[in-house]
Amino acid sequence: MPQQENSRAFYRDLEQRLEQLRRQGQWRELRRSDYGLPEMTFEGTRYLNLSSNDYLGLANDAAFRGEFLSRVQDTRLGATGSRLMTGNTLPYADFEQQLERAYGLPALVFGSGYHANTGVLPALVSSGDLVLADRLVHASILDGVLASKADFQRYRHNDYEHLETLLARNRSRYRYVWIVSETIFSMDGDRADLARLVDLKNRYEALLYLDEAHSIGTDGEDGLGMCRQAGVLEQVDVAVFPMGKAMASHGAFVLAKRPLRDYLVNTSRPMIFSTALPPVCVAWSAFVFSRMQSMASERERLQHNSAQLREGLREMGYRVLGQSHILPVVFGDNEAVLQASAQLRAQGIWATAIRYPTVPRGEARIRLSVSSAFSSDQIQRILQAFDTCKR
């Protein structure tokens, strides 16, 4: 086939695939919006924003931002190299020392949560190992596992009897077995049983890997996450804390014992080959982290808003999953959830539809991300909008 004809065939094939996505209700597009919380603007219209992971309302706090900017007038904007070259700037060292003081474990900052999960797992897990992951772990974890050479099985979501069955059946066949889970699950809003996971890890001499993306900042009296709150952090071999949610920043930090941290510096490909985060971004993360620990009132408000919204929706007859600040409201098929999202948007509520294949078929949902920034009146406005959708 001539090269030009082959190229045309390729793009025809792409158009057919895109059309198939449209027909299946799986079409996605990037929408430009003016971020805000509790309200955002899209195409000149104001909406209550229930699609943001800004759980403590920090990204849009002008006073908070102003205090930070007054402190970083001389901070460099660009890293200009990887951390192993010129990018390991002073804010990195200061922040990692700050994290070690808070948690009592060495810390290593990565460029993103995705970089952490796709960089740590392939560095540590290899042929002759087995990974047992919760069925609902984030795509970045799956990508990290698949990039390794380990065998891989998934246990039913939060089903620890199934996990134990897999451990009992497989443990003797492998050098190392890793148990992998999130602490709060991003699509179901429910929590892992950390005590059960640690018990299974110890009884079967496994290793434990936990992602705290949705619990850092929100859980524990000091906001340091579920592992710290439950008193199990020392028994977790790798704890990953993405900073793009409640911390309103970018990047992720990994907590691990010193030999493991040093090994990652030497072997994790995203760490070695990616340009480091801008120093000003690392400084922002350190600033947020230092303030976050004293934000008990914001965490209390977040819990109150979440409980009020969950209770109100369930009283209307909605099926609401989870026990956290993530409230998945299940509508069923893709068409139903898109219709509900459009109805909510018509009433000034910006709530994203999550469809198959991101969630299982028949489990399409509106995923509500609650924030401490919402007032009681705004929670009532959200409930009224959902009540209208029911009619």
Residues 89, 94, 97, 99: is their CA dihedral positive or negative?
Answer: negative
Question: Between the CA of residue 64 and those of 33, 146, 251, 267, 291, what are the distances in Å?
Answer: 22, 40, 20, 37, 10
Active site residue 67: no
Checking 257-260 for CB contacts under 8 A at 24+ apart, the result is 257/105, 257/106, 258/106, 260/124
Closest by CA to 342, choosing from 331, 333, 352, is 352
Catalytic pick among 129, 181, 212, 245: 245
Closest by CA to 219, choosing from 240, 246, 201, 248, is 246
Catalytic pick among 88, 117, 186, 341: 186
Active site residue 325: no
Label residue 315 exposed, middle or buried (CB < 10 Å: 0-12, 13-18, 19+): exposed
Catalytic pick among 54, 96, 129, 182: 182
Catalytic pick among 96, 129, 190, 211: 211
- How many residues does the structure list for the chain? 391
> Is the distance from CB of 56 to CB of 364 less than 8 angstroms?
no
Active site residue 250: no
Catalytic pick among 49, 52, 53, 215: 53
Q: At what angle do helices 139-147 and 113-124 cross, to 10 degrees?
A: 30
Catalytic pick among 138, 190, 212, 249: 138
Active site residue 305: no
Catalytic pick among 158, 214, 215, 372: 214
Active site residue 201: no
238-242/252-255 β-pairing: antiparallel
**Residues catalogued as catalytic:** 53, 138, 182, 186, 211, 214, 245
